[in-house]
Chain A
Amino acid sequence: MAEVLDLVLRLVLILAVFLVLPLIVGQTEHKVMAHMQSRLGPMYAGGFHGWAQLIADGVKFMQKEDVVPAAADRRIFSIAPAVALVPYLVVLAVIPIGPGLVGTDLNVGLFFVLAVMGVGVLGSIMAGWSSGNKFSVLGGMRSAAQLVSYELPLVLAASSVAMAAGTLSLPGIVEAWEWWWLPWQAIGLAVFFIAGLAELRRPPFDMPIAESEIIMGPMTEYTGIRFALFLLAEYAGIVVLSALTTVLFLGGWQGPLLPGPVWTLIKVFALAFVVIWVRVSYPRLREDQLQKLAWLGLVPLALLQLAITGVVKVALA
């Protein structure tokens, strides 16, 4: 009974985190992006500096008509947002927030996380294909191409950390982490973060969405709550990517003075800020630049990181 209660409690907590953190990140994005552009951003909803803007947005989205195009593949079209969103929820279940504070400690956690995150991209491919819209198909194809290109450096960079820690368990990696891993895994950190951004299709890697050329890519035909789910998936993706980077490369809950979970949250939000910052600062990459960056930049770098990790590991052993 106690085990069941414990499990339920953990799941509820994870669900709460899953629902709250993306909203906070979304609100932060609104305000940070606005101030970086010398604007104020939302100022009215909720009274104090528009803190309730995303809630108001959610209410608005729910009231909107849910349109399914006649040419669409109805069933695929309907479940695509869920396919995009749920994997991030699942990933959160294995990410440790503090010592012992983890949904479940899988001993193949890293493998599990990378596999499930790849599924998230499937959502946008499904959405693109099922919409019966040429822009959506284009966007879906770009998503697929991006997934294929960037999954490789992502996995390579993550495996470098697994090599260094000698375990695939996420809490195990955090426990094995030492401060000097920062310079040691610096290249891996950069590769992992950039590749993760591309997986999320965040600017400057938002070629699949590219509203200036293919409207909204896979989301073109979506309205109302389904569209909101895609947006939520994007913010949840930011949270998951930041948390994963924190756990793998920044030592998770490790840090002086403050308790572990606080450190985790600080690092996660700092990384989320960087995600937003990069979005505001850089223009979108062209499709060929995108592929070039992955295959000529990130993959060799990730291999280099693997080599460095292996050499240092052997030298230390």
Chain B
Amino acid sequence: MCDMMRNVARIPGEGLAKGLAVTLRHMVNKSVTQQYPEVQPELPPRSRGVIALVEENCTVCMLCARECPDWCIYIDSHKETLPAPEGGRPRARNVLDRFAIDFSLCMYCGICIEVCPFDALFWSPEFEYAEHDILDLLHEKERLGSWVETVPPPPAHEVGAEPPKEIAAAERPARPSTGKTAEARPRRTEPADRTPGPAAESAPPREAGAAGEERPRRMAARDVRAIRPPGALPKKPEPEGAPPEEAEPRKPEAPESGTGGEEPPKSAARPERPGPEERPRRMTSANIRAIRPPGALPKKPEPKEPEPEEPESAEPESRRPEAQRPENGRGDEPPERPGSPDSGDSTS
């Protein structure tokens, strides 16, 4: 009998009661199910849903198309020649004819967005674009552009974090080398304005406002730090020493490699032209400081050269050649792609 009792005592044991308690607790608690079609999921702002294109920012540099591991980006463009401004010469620039991403091939790696130097591509958390026909997953630039309004604001910087380079640069006006800073500002601020969606615009201004209060302090101590971020540092030495050398050899190269290399920088550089007179001043001012502000860095090569236009174009390029040159082997290929018509145009 005692054995039986023990047996019995084991049957309604503690473990069994615990099991019942667990299920009962779950029944009473709210279930975790998300009723998706009725209730939209709350996605984090960096969700990779679809890629949005800000067409105005695209310079047809082809970086995204080249870097795309799936080769799912198709770019067509042609060249337009702008009439010569006073005292200048006519410029050619690229006009985007077609920008398409085939989301049936895309693997959502985001490399195109990372690599875009002109803030033309953005992640949007929008994900409901399934199609019955796989061919409909090829989004042309109109469709890509329509995603822009769904791009959320970038998450705020952490409290106490360094301000973004652009803002740091924009706040430098008080410096002795006025020429540079004056140039730097318009540049940096413009791209910020261009960034899509109300969110993107709203975010930087806040930071700028907050940063503005602190300006006086920073000028002394933080300048150095502002310069240091890894992205900014490596570029300085090149523009200083190399600009004349690099800029000239590139020109011949560029036509060969196609639109990717040269043209985009020109279009980007145009707004800055008015500044050529000021450049010489920079040269005179302490070189080190003049170089440091991240916004101002790329422009240094310009003052050295007599021709204002090309050095400007060289700024963005000066970054690229490092990254691109190894790829130039590949770079020859993109012209063969669907996007290749550019190359034909550009060479012609």
Contact = CB atoms under 8 A, between A and B. Distances in A.
Contact of B26 (A36, A278, A300, A301): A36
B31 A277 contact: no
B33 interface: yes
Contact of B35 (A34, A40, A300, A301): A40
A282 B19 contact: yes
A314 interface: no
B323 interface: no
Given A296-B7, A300-B4, A301-B8, A40 B31 contact: yes
B20 to A, nearest CB: 5
Contacts of A301: 4, 8
B27 interface: yes
A32 interface: yes
Interface in A293-317: 293, 296-297, 300-301, 304
B221 interface: no
Nearest to B38: A43
Given A293-B11, A301-B4, A35 B26 contact: yes
B29 interface: yes
A277 B20 contact: yes
A37 interface: yes
Interface string B14-33: 00100110111011010111
A183 to B, nearest CB: 16
A38 B29 contact: yes
Nearest to A280: B23
A291 B7 CA distance: 14
A280 B7 CA distance: 24
A107 interface: no
A43 B35 contact: yes
Contacts of B33: 38-40
- By secondary structure, the B interface counts as helix
Residue from B4, B12, B27, B35 with most neighbouring chain A CB atoms (10 Å): B27
Contacts of B32: 38-39
Given A43-B35, A293-B11, A297-B11, A36 B23 contact: yes
Contacts of A40: 31, 33, 35
B288 to A, nearest CB: 62
A32 B28 CA distance: 10
Nearest to B28: A35
B31 A39 contact: yes
Contacts of A280: 23
A281 B22 contact: yes
Interface in A80-122: none
Nearest to B16: A282
Nearest to A35: B27
B26 A37 contact: yes
Contacts of A304: 1, 4
A282 B16 CA distance: 8
Contacts of A37: 26
Nearest to B20: A281
A14 B29 CA distance: 37
Contacts of B24: 36, 277
B4 to A, nearest CB: 4
Nearest to B34: A40
B42 to A, nearest CB: 18
- Residue in A32, A293, A301 whose Cβ sees the most chain B Cβ within 10 Å: A301
B117 to A, nearest CB: 47
A78 B55 CA distance: 69
In this complex, the member of A32, A36, A38, A304 whose beta carbon has the largest number of chain B beta carbons within 10 angstroms is A36
Given A38-B26, A38-B33, A39-B32, 11 more contacts: A32-B27, A36-B26, A37-B26, A38-B31, A39-B31, A40-B35, A43-B35, A278-B20, A297-B7, A297-B11, A304-B1
Interface of B: 1, 4, 7-8, 11-12, 16, 19-20, 22-24, 26-27, 29, 31-33, 35
23 contacts: A34-B31, A35-B31, A36-B26, A37-B26, A38-B29, A38-B31, A38-B32, A38-B33, A39-B32, A39-B33, A40-B31, A40-B35, A277-B23, A277-B24, A278-B20, A280-B23, A281-B16, A282-B16, A282-B19, A293-B11, A300-B4, A304-B1, A304-B4
